Structure 1
């Protein structure tokens, strides 16, 4: 009779354990390292407003006959683009709070004041002179706005009286997550739940296999112990105890262990090599302790007030010291950090800000294409910037990260005749798949490399 070899059972169990562990770890790492990509739709030809919807372009008047809702929406965008730097509805900032303005002054006076406050002060208007004196003789700039635009701003301020105004430039209200952040968090949660369920299933299957094999082995031993025709070697094999040392010294087990070790080392080496040059999480110390949380979050200053070219140019410019002085010639003038701005102006030297987001020269990126045409919020790429005291690089900004965004972000083509034929062709050939940025050529090499 052939010798009974129960030694294969522990080897099989160990091999199963190593296999399940390796597969589970690899899947967990893949999910954990996947870049978070916002899946919000982008609207060609629109600038996003505070609630993530396309907002009226700067200087646009509310639609005629559009009703109060349209006027308030237009006023919201105009207020954030022109007024929020110095005014809030319910709080004093640089200038007075605007709550109750229609009760203090008639509309014709308000329109004249906004269009040319200097002229009204020079004319000796008592209320205009009082405001000028009360707020440190800080002259309010003139605005080339139409009467309807000014009325829409007032409609917006009236609608916000007694409550907190929405955050600037599409930023969520302080303490809330941005739309892109919420989508990313939801996607990460779903992926985490999926991998947890998969690991649980694998562990349950492994336990069932182990229990089944142990039961089978015990049944076989019981049957064989009742037989009298077993040789001495068979009896010895039947009664031997588990010996871990023999398992460890087994060539098969050592081969599996060495193979797993080599695969893990190769995987980690490839991951490390792919991470060369990536600066996600980079958070340098800046020469001036500027807080986006204070300015963009709590004070709700529109991003475009400082980064003036973000909707107009390839680059979102670094603000000059003059922009800082629009407010800080009157606000916190004794602060040590503000005095650094004064010294830079006196020396006629720019502030040496440390750049955080820096794409390689071989990649072309245009801010206006994404913010003005695509209608994306700053938070889509920069994360919850309105909650950052010290700014850091939130997203990976790798080629794969950008391509995934282009593949997964649907284009909102409604109302834009330019896309009608493209959408028809796409729907006829593959209507089940959304019309994304990639469908519009957003993953062609020449879009970013030329």
Structure 2
């Protein structure tokens, strides 16, 4: 909200069970959880429970204004200001006449937001934990993989050191044994000849078998690199184009913890993930003004009513069907699963391979959450009757059939 409502933005939300126009009961965990997700996705950029950010602190909001007024304000604050409502005009003037956009939220969803605010008041402060739009903690999903990688690197380093120590030890032992044998007087001419023989490296280098080994290795390396090059045609993993405006996800999503759905408003409800318009940028930067030349580019685009020509990073071929909402909303896939540690990227790059094999492996390994969804009941029973030990994955539900993505 902005001002007394919800932070500017248009994020999807789970319906809250609270009755429209009435405060949700303090013990209604489902409504509070829904409000938590809605607040993080829509309000946290401009509001806190006890601190003034862009808009006022929300603690005690239910005592300052009745719930019907709050619902009307969130849905269309500009209409209330234009109507001359005394409190609306007061808030509008107090906060530099910064108008809050309208929100297509239901009464129950708005009520659940204020139920969450009420619950946070009783805890004595704001909760710093960022959540995704489903209410689940959005931790660093790459930390486990990073720890495993560091562990394997440490093991490999130890093995290399041990191998070097063993080689040095064997060389030392060989030299000691030669010195011991040279001190013996019972050696005949043949033994002395073997002991003192030198390696003829030039003879080895000129030998046919050595040339054959080197030639074979050379051909194998060239063949391997050629195959790898052919396999990489059309793949853009690591692609990191320069953008027309130097937007940092590390600053916005990382340091300031702006929820992904605040800017990419359709990621949970559309086939495609949208690129945010300059108007969404201005929701914050109309108040947070800097002399940055990059910010001035946004102002210029808004003044000229021209879209910002962002360069697309993640591209899938036209022959492959992919539905973003199906994976994020239904499948519950976190952003970092495919896009990597986006909150640590100053410049976005393609983190995953996005190949057919990469997608199929995910479908084979990812279990489906079928709990409470009657659509899957018979499918799960059929699956368990044949192979109860294996989890019911996307592949079990036909997720690896060709026609699912190619039709």
| Contiguous gaps of at least 5 residues in structure 2 | 1-10
Q: 2:343 aligns with which of 351, 376, 386?
A: 386
**Structure 1 counterpart SS, 2:271:** coil
Q: Which shows bigger deviation, 363-372 or 428-437?
A: 428-437
Any idea what the Cα deviations from partners look like across 1:328-358, whole Å, max 9, x if unmatched? 3443276533332333344343211111111
Alignment map for 1:391-410 (pairs within 5 Å): 391-410=348-367
Residue 185 of structure 1 is matched in structure 2 by 146
Alignment map for 1:146-185 (pairs within 5 Å): 148-160=108-120, 162-167=125-130, 169=132, 178-179=140-141, 181-185=142-146
Alignment map for 1:78-97 (pairs within 5 Å): 78-97=38-57
**Structure 1 counterpart SS, 2:250:** helix
Taking structure 1 as the reference length, the TM-score comes to: 0.70
**Structure 1 counterpart SS, 2:276:** coil
Residue 6 of structure 2 is matched in structure 1 by none
Q: Are the counterparts in 2 of residues 168 and 297 from structure 1 also a CA contact under 8 Å?
A: no
In the TM superposition, residue 294 of structure 1 has moved relative to its aligned partner by 3.2
Any idea what the Cα deviations from partners look like across 1:176-223, whole Å, max 9, x if unmatched? 8533x234335545665776788789x59x969x79x979x98xx99x
Residue 241 of structure 1 is matched in structure 2 by 197
Residue 321 of structure 1 is matched in structure 2 by 278
Any idea what the Cα deviations from partners look like across 1:411-432, whole Å, max 9, x if unmatched? 1112222222222232233333
Residue 306 of structure 2 is matched in structure 1 by 349
Cα distance in 2, alignment partners of residues 324 and 227 from structure 1? 89
Cα distance in 1, alignment partners of residues 305 and 89 from structure 2? 34
Cα distance in 2, alignment partners of residues 145 and 398 from structure 1? 37
> Cα distance 1:142–1:343, how it changes in 2: closer, same or farther (>3 A)?
closer
Number of residue pairs matched?
389
In the TM superposition, residue 370 of structure 1 has moved relative to its aligned partner by 0.9
Cα distance in 2, alignment partners of residues 153 and 240 from structure 1? 88
Cα distance in 1, alignment partners of residues 198 and 206 from structure 2? 13
Q: Are the counterparts in 1 of residues 13 and 133 from structure 2 also a CA contact under 8 Å?
A: no
> Cα distance 1:144–1:346, how it changes in 2: closer, same or farther (>3 A)?
closer
Taking structure 2 as the reference length, the TM-score comes to: 0.77
**Structure 1 counterpart SS, 2:96:** coil
Any idea what the Cα deviations from partners look like across 1:68-93, whole Å, max 9, x if unmatched? 43232111122234433533335444
**Structure 1 counterpart SS, 2:228:** helix
Cα distance in 2, alignment partners of residues 196 and 273 from structure 1? 33
> Cα distance 1:100–1:336, how it changes in 2: closer, same or farther (>3 A)?
farther
In the TM superposition, residue 367 of structure 1 has moved relative to its aligned partner by 0.9
Residue 228 of structure 2 is matched in structure 1 by 271
**Structure 2 counterpart SS, 1:67:** coil
Alignment map for 1:190-229 (pairs within 5 Å): 203=163
> Cα distance 1:150–1:314, how it changes in 2: closer, same or farther (>3 A)?
closer
Cα distance in 2, alignment partners of residues 422 and 129 from structure 1? 57
In the TM superposition, residue 242 of structure 1 has moved relative to its aligned partner by 3.5
Q: Are the counterparts in 2 of residues 84 and 301 from structure 1 also a CA contact under 8 Å?
A: yes
Q: 2:91 aligns with which of 131, 134, 145?
A: 131
Q: Which shows bigger deviation, 369-378 or 76-85?
A: 76-85
> Cα distance 1:184–1:445, how it changes in 2: closer, same or farther (>3 A)?
farther
Cα distance in 2, alignment partners of residues 319 and 405 from structure 1? 28
Q: Are the counterparts in 2 of residues 62 and 74 from structure 1 also a CA contact under 8 Å?
A: no
In the TM superposition, residue 366 of structure 1 has moved relative to its aligned partner by 1.6
Residue 24 of structure 1 is matched in structure 2 by none
| Contiguous gaps of at least 5 residues in structure 1 | 1-54
Taking only aligned residues, the RMSD between alpha carbons, in angstroms, comes to 4.3
Q: 1:114 aligns with which of 74, 82, 86?
A: 74
In the TM superposition, residue 146 of structure 1 has moved relative to its aligned partner by 5.1
> Cα distance 1:186–1:416, how it changes in 2: closer, same or farther (>3 A)?
farther
Q: Does 1:413 align with 2:370?
A: yes
Any idea what the Cα deviations from partners look like across 1:392-413, whole Å, max 9, x if unmatched? 2222222222222222222111
Q: Are the counterparts in 1 of residues 16 and 34 from structure 2 also a CA contact under 8 Å?
A: yes
Alignment map for 1:7-86 (pairs within 5 Å): 57-62=13-18, 67-86=27-46
Q: 1:367 aligns with which of 307, 318, 324?
A: 324
Larger RCO (CA within 8 A; separation ≥ 6): 1
Alignment map for 1:326-337 (pairs within 5 Å): 326-332=283-289, 335-337=292-294
Any idea what the Cα deviations from partners look like across 1:254-279, whole Å, max 9, x if unmatched? 43343334333333333333233332
Cα distance in 1, alignment partners of residues 251 and 151 from structure 2? 33
